[in-house]
Amino acid sequence: MIDPNGWVTLDELTPGGDGVVRGLDGAAGIVRRLMDLGLVPGTVVRHVRCAPLGDPLEILVRGTHLSIRRSEAGKVHVEPL
C-alpha cells in the first residue's frame, strides 16, 4: 500500500534507517502501551535490525533499544528520514 504522504510502517523502514512517528493505529490498549514506551508522534525512531528469523525487530527510540514484533511495528506509521 502506497501512502500519499510517503509514510511507511515501522517494519517497512530499511534496517538502520530512521523515521519520525506520525501516527499509530490498532487496539486502544496496544496504542496506549506503545506510546507509553515513547512512540509518540514526532519522535524519531530507528529500525535497528530484525532477529535472525525475521521477527521480531529491534528498534531504537529515545535512547532505548526495544524489541517488538512485526505485527505491532506495522501499526506505527513513520515518515522516513
> Does residue number 4 form part of the binding site for other proteins (CB under 8 A)?
no
44 binds other proteins (CB under 8 A): no
73 grid coordinates: 511495528
Least distance from C-beta 58 to other proteins, angstroms?
6
Nearer to other proteins, 2 or 53 (CB): 53
Using CB under 8 A as the binding rule, whether residue 81 contacts other proteins is answered as no
Task: State how far the Cα of 12 lies from the Cα of 78, in Å rounded to an integer.
Answer: 9
By CB under 8 A, is residue 17 in contact with other proteins? no
Dist CA 69 CA 55 (whole Å): 6
Closest by Cα among 60, 67, 20, 55 to 8: 20
Member of 7, 18, 20, 56 binding other proteins (CB under 8 A) = 56
